[in-house]
Structure 1
């Protein structure tokens, strides 16, 4: 019979996702078939599975740690915030519409049968399911209809470990308060607590740990150090956004949009030696980088207006006018166009002028494009001409379609010759259909493909091109392999958790159940 273990936290960003990933890797190393599960995830970082469904990236990371292919059953509900009060609701990998928070709160109970179907299906194929909660189980205004914290634990009879983030301070109060706000029927599911992100000597904490155990009558099963493993972050609380490092020899600036999505697209750029990858939310932070990247957005029009109002757009236009490179990914690609139209009110309705750096127009549609793709760069010009012919893999998640602006000249030659549309690449989707993607003009490039930088050939060509602009030569690290690097990070995470947690106790509570 399949066993389960649930990791909850005292707050968002307490480290639940990383703990689940590490435990998945430990259980796999110990010979078990294991899968992660999160009934409801709220995040703007998402992924397209091999069969074309959308799920949260946190569960993708956990699946990789478990040595499993990402599967929509691991995350049956994904909420992608479109504003402060509403989200796009994605059920079993497909969007069912946008809902205000109050509307979704009333609706979500209807999703329980689907949640249980996904969980039970995974259970039939695995020995252990490691479940992740969301936020805090002690949100007393939300407990009544909970489907992701104690409500989920009760549905599947899962023992619970609650993690607290000591790096933020107040960890004893937050753990004590969380447990005390649970009902007695809920409290019996909590079998241990974890102090997470500790810097220093754990023995210093011993008096506090003993007092906490006396107060709540639940054991502290480990003190996990602040880990430096390089594993994709779950959401916009990432530490990467707080990085204030000085610009490197290659200075790459990613615009930190208010509704930035899939920022994990740029993690691989950090593997370029001598490069810095910074996230800039203001003109002052932007500075004068070698490359500007405009990322994806869950509300392209609102984020374009934000850039227009705070002067960021003007800085990007000045950067491009100096013939310095700009790359737009997904929503960032749409912003580079002449116009963005929203005839069906997908975001805000109406039409807005784009940045005009690509002679193209984007029209939002009802249907979301969701597909895995492989691609080959076309006859690319400009600073990144060396990308021509290189291949990559990735995925598309977008509501709009982009095409050349009517009357735009393209890359035509003599009068009477057909114009050549400056497509960036050609893609082959999961179903074998081939289509063009992206455009370029001068040193401005746009694409809908997430994960395009994860190809080592692409990564190193970009580095080489930026170094050539400085009159320098980029020396590639020939021993570097991105997949091997990621595997080492999961193993390092598992090693650290084995040392920090009482794994004998964890195996015991998994076996005993509730």
Structure 2
């Protein structure tokens, strides 16, 4: 059955601009009062979000849902892979983990997962006027073409048109586009209705001869050349940016430890954009200059990342940092690492049965098969500020001694801890820094005075609107509607 009013965005490479272009198209359509939903058949990412119904999806699809001005839903990302080793990942279907799989076994699962993918797409297509689909990686990975559900495999099964985007900033944009197209099968080539060139800088007249050559060679139009948009920040799908943006005004220096299986690093995008924060991700302490606040983020492999901390001398850095009066804030897996002991008897994330934690909080954590997945409201017991966030964790944490609690949840339970000396705060709640009042109080606790008020939610929406405005200039709504057969 032909997918009605569905358009798929595929890319010549990872990070070609698929996620951002889907977000732009969703906002453009929403601005023209067209009900639109994002969709990604299969996502591989450690950044995830929790939906209202308690399911887990890729963070990029939650951002795209925000762009479409709708609530995220598990149907927007029916298959999510969360890598927990170089060859394996946790497999999440319709928001719930069904187990771990290595690459070979997962490849065998794909035909069964295609049904779940198509069911989700069909439900969205029935509820919305348009569906914008994001591919994964590149459709030209010929070793992965067999049983593909993420790119042309989905497009063929759903019978939808495809546009291919390439990032000219990487260089070789015409080679990327021609090479990708030529590696497709004849039926796949017939689905390609246009190309989009992303992040162009300079005089467009210098690019036009290349575009004309491409159109003549492949008989496919270049639908748009999207300019490089300075100072645009849309939450990344999974890439971790180690570049530091220095603020010249009153600022506090914050370092996030970038261990190998860091998860949900979008928790700290608010800090990257905050006018009074200098944020740095660091693999090793040697990369750290000034640090007022050290953050231990979430992790998809807590014991493995804890071993990474120890092997790379972070344990000594943390001790010295605290001794000199610095502060430490931890989220989810980072909080578990600060405890006395970690247990993984069922080998949920690793082959290690148990190991010592960093021993800064009187807690122990046991990893369990069933995840806690929920959107949460609470208030901070130390400041009284109301907060909202979300939980994604497999660990069950218990206290081994009396400890100061950080949050009281709406359901009456408690979350988070504060050390007796007041230098460490930790919580299971992702997204807690997106709450302006709590963020201001946390930065003040860490040593910042005279902070500028900062509304991250408004800034995120402004950034999406800025993106949509620039994209619509080169890819007008009438062209988008024609691609979706909405005319």
Q: Give the TM-score normalised by the residue count of structure 1.
A: 0.90
Contact 1:373 1:395 (8 Å CA) reproduced: yes
Matches within 5 A, 1:225-236: 225-227=227-229, 228-235=231-238
Any idea what the Cα deviations from partners look like across 1:65-94, whole Å, max 9, x if unmatched?
001000111111100000110000000000
Q: What are the residue-to-residue correspondences of 1:63-462 with 2, within 5 Å?
A: 63-227=65-229, 228-235=231-238, 237-238=239-240, 240-243=241-244, 245=246, 249-348=251-350, 349-378=352-381, 380=382, 388-405=383-400, 408=401, 410=402, 421-428=403-410, 433-441=411-419, 442=421, 443-462=423-442
Q: Residue 31 of structure 1 corresponds to which residue in structure 2?
A: 33
Q: Report the CA distance between 1:484 and its aligned residue.
A: 2.6
> How has the CA–CA distance of structure 1 residues 475 and 262 changed in structure 2, closer, same or farther, with 3 Å as cutoff?
closer
Q: CA deviation at 1:464?
A: 2.6
In structure 1, how many angstroms separate the alpha carbons of the residues matched to 2:456 and 2:15? Answer: 26
Of 32-41 and 455-464, more deviation after overlay is shown by 455-464
Q: Is the contact made by 1:213 and 1:219 (CA closer than 8 Å) also made in structure 2?
A: yes
Cα deviations by residue, 1:123-153 (Å, 9 ceiling, x for unpaired): 1111110000000001001111111111111
Distance 2:246 2:172 in 1: 28
Deviation for aligned residue 1:466: 3.3
- Note if contact 2:254-2:278 (Cα within 8 Å) is conserved in structure 1: yes
> 1-side partners of 2:480 and 2:274: how far apart?
39
Q: Using the alignment, how far apart are the partners of 1:98 and 1:141 within structure 2?
A: 22
SS of equivalent to 1:204: helix
> Unmatched 5+ residue regions in structure 1?
381-387, 411-420
Q: Does the 8 Å CA contact 1:463/1:474 hold for their aligned counterparts?
A: no
1:272/1:459 contact within 8 Å kept: no
| SS of residue in 2 equivalent to 1:491 | helix
1:415 maps to none
The whole-number CA distance in structure 1 between the counterparts of 2:481 and 2:55 is 33
Matched length: 480
Once the two structures are superposed, what CA deviation does each residue of 1:446-489 show, in whole Å capped at 9, x if it has no partner?
11000010111011112333345xxxx31443xx5333322222
Q: Which segment drifts farther, 111-120 or 494-503?
A: 494-503
Q: Label 1:512 to 1:87 Cα distance change in 2 as closer, same or farther (>3 A).
A: same
Q: Over the residues paired in the alignment, what is the CA RMSD in angstroms?
A: 1.7
Is the 8 Å Cα contact of residues 247 and 277 (structure 2) preserved in structure 1?
A: no
Question: Would you say the 8 A contact 1:2–1:124 is kept in 2?
Answer: no
- Is the deviation greater in 108-117 or in 266-275? 266-275
Shift of 1:273: 2.7
Classify the secondary structure of the residue corresponding to 1:487.
helix
Quote the Cα distance in structure 2 between the aligned partners of 1:121 and 1:297: 33
> How far 1:286 sits from its partner (Å)?
2.0
DSSP-derived class of the 1:158 partner: coil
Query: Could you tell me how far 1:507 is from its partner in structure 2?
Result: 2.4
Rounded Cα–Cα distance in structure 2 between residues aligned with 1:475 and 1:89: 42
Contact 2:37–2:130 (CA under 8 A) maintained in structure 1: yes
CA spacing shift, 1:234–1:370, aligned 2, 3 Å:
same
CA contact (8 A) 1:249 1:275 kept: yes
Distance in 1 between residues matched to 2:486 and 2:404, nearest whole Å = 62
Q: CA deviation at 1:270?
A: 3.1
The equivalent position to 1:498 in structure 2, one of 467, 472, 475, is 472
Cross-structure match for 1:413: none
Q: Is the 8 A contact 1:76 1:115 kept in 2?
A: yes
- Give the Cα–Cα distance (whole angstroms) in 2 for the partners of residues 2 and 34 of structure 1: 12
Quickly say closer, same or farther: Cα 1:271–1:29, change in 2 above 3 A: same
- SS of 1:242 mapped into structure 2: coil
- Distance in 2 between the 1:299 and 1:466 partners? 28
Give the 3-state SS of the residue equivalent to 1:203 in structure 2: helix
Is this contact kept in 2: 1:245–1:278, CA < 8 A? no
Between 132-141 and 245-254, report the one with greater CA deviation.
Answer: 245-254
- Name whichever of 148-157 and 122-131 sits farther off: 148-157
